Each structure stands twice: as structure tokens, then as C-alpha cells.
A and B are shown apart, each in its own frame.
Chain A
Amino acid sequence: MRELLSRLRFFFSRTPAGALDEELQFHLEQATQANIAAGMTPEEAHRRARIEFGGVESAREQTFVQRPGWWMETVLQDTRFALRQLHKSLGFALTAILTLALGIGVATAMFAIVDGVLLRPLAFPHAQQLYTPVGIDATGEEMYGVSYAEIKQWQEATRNSAEIAFERGDADILDTPSGAQLIYKETISANLLRTLGVQPMLGRGFLPQEQEECQSHVALLSYATWRALFASNPKILGQAVRIGGQTYYVIGIMPPHFEYPLWGNKIEVWTPVARSALENKQEYMNHMPILRLKPGVKPAIVQAELSSVQAHIAQAAKPGDEVATHVRLTALRDSIVAGVRPALTALEIAVVLIWLIACCNVAGLLLARLASRRVEIAVRGALGAGKWRIVRQFLTESLLVSAAGAVIGLGLAVFTLQVFRRTLEKQLPLTRNIHVNPAVLLALAGFTLLTGLIFGSIPAILAARAPLEETLKSGGPTSSKDRGQARLRNGLLIGEIAVSMILLVGAGLMLRTVYALRHVPLGFRTDHIVLTSFTVPNYDYKGRDLNTTLWDPLLERVQHLPGVQFASLSTVMPIGHTMELLTDVSTPGTTKSNVTAVVRAASPDQLRVLGIRMYAGRFFNAQDTPSSMPVAVVNRAFVQRYFNGKNAIGEPIRFGTVPMRATIVGVLDDVHQEKAATPIQPEIYVCMDQLKPGNGLYIPLLGWFMELAIRTQTAPGAMIPELRRVIHRENPDLVAGDFTTMKQAVEDSIGSQRLAARVVGIFGGLALLITVVGLYGLLSYSVAQRTREIGIRMALGADRARVMGMVLRQALMLLILGIAMGLALAFWSTRLLHSFLYGVSKHDPWTLAAVPLLLLLCGVISAFVPARRAAFVDPMVALRHE
């Protein structure tokens, strides 16, 4: 430490170089004087003194080396020299820096995502003890949710080894000072917060008796809910709020970053599960359990305990019941990220590949530069620079380049994450953890150093090994060693081309997938439609007819707005919305027993709004009233599946145990209801107006959710604010969800494929760009190096076309080798993408043909510039060159 301080002191208070000179001069003079005193002539005395003294320069240098700051000075010197060198060849420096910035930038952004989603510990104390128990049925399928009866037995069996809590969530309506608000109400067991190890930020958590007593209505608000809907008012504690028509007392506010379940930034409220609800048959199923191991307990033990209990439960179950036969424990994080891990891993591999391409590229550029700097290095060596010093010089240069690349790359990473944040939030869990944090910065520093070392060391070692005399004698790069280096450079470039191939093939397949998805005939029109959904406050309409008091007036109001052509209501509108009501139906005409179909209610204008065609019969109209004959319309898939495609019109339908019959009056063309890529289900529409309170389908079809579709005359997006205002004024209690256009909804339904296509497309483009730059750089240097040879060839009669052909042939050879290698790799690696593909084979011949052509085209274009330069070499100048 003292050593360092002393170094620093001398480093900053450097003695002027003149002082040393003066000192040495004084010494010489004294020696001369002494010689004169000994009787020599002044000239002789001076000469002798100099001889005795020896090399003044060497003495001076030796003295300088003693300086403690010397080492640092040489580093500065190296840096200054490197900067000068880079400035001198600005094209090279910019190419290398930008290439690296791209490589490091995408690597850093991707690492931030992987770190946030896959690596960073969850925000619970001792999160590694948290597990999700999942029931597995006899066929090995995971079961969704667990019944309370099962959880009770699980808790009993693991009394000493673990704590089990559970939760189930529903959309619900919260009345706030500013109107009704759609929220997510998570009903949780009283021990959930304790199991997670979290405390409310204000107030208290739930007490065990609040789970037992059916009448204690208490609630915890999420921080976001508190801030957005109650203006962060701490007085809300102890106050009553209305959720879903029931009164709850707010007893606590959760901390800002708490979310459970761990997905998305929903507005959440937690209430304790009430025993009455647990024992109520309707809410019996579908609790999501979570488990914390007691300290020192192995997960395998708890899994065995749970499985043995579950085996008993399965034995006792009635035949035909869907019961899990055993239980599997999954670490909490794994259960959340299981769906995205393969995709993230594939993307991480992709960015590592890009980073490698970038490094190879810069290594190639440096190697090429080394060839042209051979003489300079030899001269430096001859002037006394040690091998280590020369190696260091090169390392300094490459570290400078990579540091600059890293800084720009960091900016790029931050920017990329910013741009993609919203998309990421839609597609990934735990996005809250994604930012360029110290861990990511550390990774960046590591990348930088590694990049600098990797592509700095190869040229540096080669430079130091080069024999001085030979280079100085030959005056230029001619030796056989050059051929070895050229081979290395070519190898690097072929590898780059191959890796770009892989990424481009992936991008091509994803683009084809998105294209295929966009061109699936959906069965309805997507233009000029605005969509919104409602969560129905049915508790406010007890004893009133929803049709006459709520839906008819709303539809009436919206229909008469200027710009609205038609409007219709339906339980579920096409695309993206997966909430469906599945019922058993029976008709005398069916050829199969167990008949199930999706049931929806709709208003008469549904077909006109969506532009769906009738296949046979008619849709609903104004004559279908509660007093007329109940009617239903089915889709072609229904007829295909249950009537073998025969005529279904006029057949009666019964809906499970509900005492309702309807007659089929029409058959609709098939419509892609959920996603373009999913097969079409059998569907039944019933007429909204014919449903009356007391009908078994009335509440499920009209009283929970309802969607509104509007066909507009002008651009649909522009109508959204007006619609939102009108609907709110018409009925402030009715909570409208997001407003969107049908086009947007269709786009959103292929969101994950679009994101994948975009990301892989960007990666492929980057790889292509970097590779083309690399090819250009390599050919440029090779032409510059061969100027003399080209000059001789031209002097001997080679014409321009032939010279150009020579350069282009070199490029083509590299491209073809790289493409061949890339094709082989791509053929194998596209299986990583398999689950993302739709409507295209993973060995799609079009993609596998188009990508090599694209690479070839870009490669030849980039080769054209150096080839032209070669062709216009002036033989006279070239021969005098060097």
C-alpha cells in the first residue's frame, strides 16, 4: 500500500526530465575538469570523460526505469500510442468498436433478462425452501389446482416437515371513490403470508380465525391498488370497501414489490378464504397450493409423504373422478418459469453466438491489421522494445477497443430493454427483476475483458513471435507464416458465416410462422371493429332482468352513436379470450353420446358486426323473444362432430341438467375463436333476449362477463375514447375492461410468435451485418496486401475483369464453405424452435434455400467494393508501393 502511495506521489510530482539531464551534464563536466587537472587538453579531457561515462542515453533510460511511476507511465504511453493508432485507422476502429458494441449490447440485454427471470432469487426470505406441489394423474398429466379436502390431508401428513398454504384468484369488482374498478381478488389461506415470509407494510396480516369464521370480511390491498385507487391514504386502514358487492374491512397494505401469484402487475386485493366457501361444493376445487420446507428437510421426503397421502385419496375416490395419483414438488421459481425457460435458453445461445461472431470478426480484423503492421512491429523491436512490451501494446489496443465497445454496448442494452419492456411484461414472468443491475454490469466487465483478451491475445502473440530480421529484410508480408494466418482468418470468417446461417434460418422460420398465422382464414372480418369486455356487477341486479335493465339500454345507446354501424353483445367474442363455458348437451339426433360444446349468448347483430357467414338457416332476430320458441345456432364443427355433417336444423338441444331446450335454427361458418393456431371447437349460440332470470344459463352467460363488439364506419381506434366516455356515463357501475380493435386483438393473439420472430429476426440481422462487415474487412485487407502482386499480374497482361474475378472467387469460396457448414448446423439446430413454429416445417425448403441466397447476395455485394478496388490498381503505383 505504501509502495503504491509512493508510486502515486512520484507519478504525479514527476521531476522534469531536464533535471536528470542537468545532473548527468554536471557529472560529465566534473569528469572533464578532473581530466584537465590531470594534464589533458580540454578536447581530450572531454572525449575521455565521455568514453568513461558510457552511453548517456542508456544511463538516462536506466534511471527512468527506477522511477516508481514508470510502469504506469508505460501504460499511459501504450494507451496514448494505441489511441493514435486507432485514430490513424478510424475505419478499422469504428468497425471493430461498433461490431463489439452490438455483440456486447445484445449479450448484456439478454443476460439482464436471463438474470432477472431465471437466476435472481425470488423476493422472499429463504426462497429456496418454497415449492409448488402439483398433483399428477395416472396418465402422467399435471392436474390444475387441488381441492381443499386434499390440501387438508396434505397439511396433516406434512405437519412436521412443511407448511402448506393455498390461494385462488378471480376477477372481481372494487368500488372506489372514482367508480367501479376491475381487480384481481386472491382468496388466500390465512397462513400464506407466513409461509412466504412476508409482512404487510402497514397494518397486519390475516389471523387463523379469520379463515374459520365465515363472517369476518377483511382484506389486504396491494401497494399499487392503494396508491392508484386510494391515493396512498393511510386512513384507509380499518375502513370498509366494497368488493363484489360485499363489504370488507381493509386491515393492511402490502409492500410495493409484493405480488402473489408471481405474474404480472395486476391490481390485487387479498382476502382470507372462508370456511363456508371451502366447504361449498362450487368452490371446492382449484386451489393453488404452495409449500415451505421446514429447515433441514429434503424436498424428496415431503414429496414422498404427499404422494403416499395422495395414493390413499386416489384409492378412496369414486371411479370416474379425476384424482391425482401422486404429487410432484417443483421449486417455486421453476414452476413459474418452466414455460419460458426453453425459449430464454435458446435466445441466450443465440446471443452468445452473436457475441462469438463479433469477437471472431474483430480478431479477424486485428489479424489482418497485424499483417500490414509487421514492419512497424519489427522496427519497434529493433529499437529495443521487448517482446512483452509489444504484446502489451497490442493488448492495450484491443482492450481499448473492447472498452469503447462495452460502453456503447451498455447504452445499447439499456435502450433495448427500454424498448422491449412492455412486450417483455406481456410474455415473461418476474419482469420486475429485469434491469441492468450490478450483476449485469459485472457480467459486462467480464465480457469486455474476455473479449479484449480473446481477440487481443491472438494477434499479440503472433506479433511477438515474428522474427525481426526476416521482416525487416523482406520489407513486407511475404513469409509462409502469412499463409497460416490467412488460413486462421478464413477459418474465423467461415465460422461466422455458418453461425449467421443458423440465426438467419431461425429468423426465416419464425417469419414464415408469423406469416402463416396472419393468413389463417379466421372466419370473420377484423377491420373496423372495436372490442371491449365487461365484468358484470350482478349483485347490483338481484331480482332485476339484466337484459332489460342493463344490456338492452346499453346496446341501444351505443348503436345510435355517430360512426357506429352495428353493435352486438356476446358472452365471448372471437380471438384471445379463453374464458368459455363448456356444457354437456344432448340431442336426439346425435350419433355420439358424451357431447360437449362451448355455449355463448349473443345479440342478433353479432353476424353483421363480425362479418360471419351463415352456412345454413338463420341467425337470431328481433322476433326471438322470451315468449317465442327458444332457438339456438351451432357452428359447422358442431354439425361435423355430432351430426356427421348431416342436416341439424330443426333438431332440439338440451343443455345438461339445466331445464332448457332450444331448437337449432341455423348453422354458422366456423370461426377461429381462441387463436389462429388452435383447432375449432363445436359451439352453440343461444339468443340473449330469450334468457330470463331463473334459467340455469342466465347467470353464467349474462351475469359474469360480457363482451361488446362495434362495427365502426371510420377508423376504429379513433372511436375508443368517445365509446369509453359514453359507456361510463350510461352506466358508471359497469366496469369496462380494455378497449381494443379487432385487428389489435388478432395481433396480440400471435404475440409470442411475433416477439420470437422479431427477436430472432434482429439477431439474424445483426449476425448478417457483422459477418458482412467481417467479409468486407478481410477482403479489403487481403487486396491491400496483395497490391504488389495484383500490380505484377496487371503488368503481365491480366485485365480488370480477371483481377475482379480473382477477389470475388476468394469471397465465393469462403461464402460457400460457410454456407455449407451453416446448412448442416441449421438442419440440426432448428429443433430448438420447433414448439414455436406453425404452418411451416422445421426443415422448410424455402427458408433453407432463401437464406443461403441472401447470405450469398450480401456477401458478394460486400466483396464487390474491394474487388473493384483491386481492379483499379495502377500497376505502376503498385510496383513502386512498399
Chain B
Amino acid sequence: MPPSTDLLQGTLDVLILKTLALEPMHGWGVAQRIQQISKDVLQIGQGSLYPALHRLEYKGWIESDWGASDNNRRAKYYSLTRKGRKQLEAELATWERLSTAIALVLETPAS
């Protein structure tokens, strides 16, 4: 299957990868972290978070492991694989190019 071109889904994927690049985390943690860092701008709906996590896992970009959470509950921790790290770099580069391009278009003074 070719990589999805869906912008939103692709964006969510790269956000998750970036978040997990710092440290292994469970689903709740990922959502919280993205929300915090984006200063509550990006709130991840759980309806799309878990499908995305599982999709990334099936693609082999992240892997999961059951561990104990801070309050000693069993939780599923996700971490980045080597393949995932490469993918993140590629996605970041793409994002860089794309956002620069969009910025160029949008910042052109209206005449």
C-alpha cells in the first residue's frame, strides 16, 4: 500500500513519531504531551489516536511493550523503532519543505 497522502492523518503520524522520539510513552501520555506542547491547540481525539498508534505499529515504525505506569497500572508503552526514526527524519524534511512553501505563498503581500 502506498503511504497515505491524507494530510491530517500524515500530520498526526508525524506528531506521534516526534513525541515518541523523546521517550517511550503510553497512549494517554502521547495525547497529553501533544496537547501540552501545542499549548492546548492540538487536542487529539481518542477515536483517531489509537487507530493511528496501531497503524504505525503495523507499519513497523513504532513498537509496543507492556510496562507499569507511574501509578503502578499495567499500561502499553510505545517506542520508536530504527525504521520509525528514519521515517520521522524523512517526514520532518518533507514537513520543512512543505511549510516553507506554504509560508512563502501565504506571506506574499496581497496587492
Contact = CB atoms under 8 A, between A and B. Distances in A.
A54 interface: yes
Given A19-B76, A26-B69, A27-B27, A54 B45 contact: yes
Contacts of B46: 24, 27, 52-54, 59
B28 interface: yes
B82 to A, nearest CB: 16
Given A6-B58, A26-B26, A26-B28, A63 B76 contact: no
Nearest to B60: A6
Interface string A49-70: 0001111001100110111100
A6 B57 CA distance: 11
B39 interface: no
B5 interface: no
A10 B47 CA distance: 22
A225 interface: no
Query: A interface, by DSSP: helix, strand, loop or mixed?
Result: helix
Contact of A55 (B47, B55, B69): B47
- Indicate the size class of the contact surface on chain A: 20 to 34
B50 interface: yes
Contacts of A6: 58, 60
A63 B54 contact: yes
A170 interface: no
A52 to B, nearest CB: 8
A321 interface: no
A65 B52 CA distance: 11
B48 interface: yes
Contact of A65 (B28, B31, B51, B69): B51
Nearest to A2: B60
A43 interface: no
A23 B51 contact: no
B64 to A, nearest CB: 9
Interface stretch (A29-37, A287-295, A425-433, A738-746): A29-37
Nearest to B66: A19
Nearest to A22: B74
A68 B56 CA distance: 11
Given A26-B73, A26-B75, A66 B55 contact: yes
Contacts of A65: 51
A770 B54 CA distance: 52
Contacts of B1: 3
A213 to B, nearest CB: 77
B71 interface: yes
Interface of A: 3, 6, 10, 19-20, 22-24, 26-27, 29-31, 33-34, 52-55, 58-59, 62-63, 65-68
Given A6-B60, A31-B28, A66-B58, A23 B50 contact: yes
A62 B73 contact: no
Given A6-B58, A20-B50, 6 more contacts: A6-B60, A23-B27, A34-B32, A65-B51, A66-B52, A66-B55
Interface string B70-86: 01011110000000000
A46 to B, nearest CB: 15
A6 B60 CA distance: 9
Nearest to A34: B32
Contacts of B54: 63, 66-67
Interface in B23-45: 26-28, 31-32, 45
A22 B54 CA distance: 14
Contacts of A27: 27-28, 31, 46, 50
Interface in B55-105: 55, 58, 60, 69, 71, 73-76
B27 A68 contact: no
B75 to A, nearest CB: 5
Contact of B51 (A26, A54, A59, A68): A59
B47 A67 contact: no
A59 B50 contact: yes
A68 B55 CA distance: 8
A482 B71 CA distance: 63
Given A27-B27, A27-B46, A31-B28, A66 B51 contact: yes
Nearest to B26: A26
B59 to A, nearest CB: 8
Interface string B1-32: 10000000000000000000000001110011
Contacts of B52: 66
Nearest to B50: A63
Contacts of B31: 27
Contacts of A30: 28, 69
Contacts of B74: 22, 26
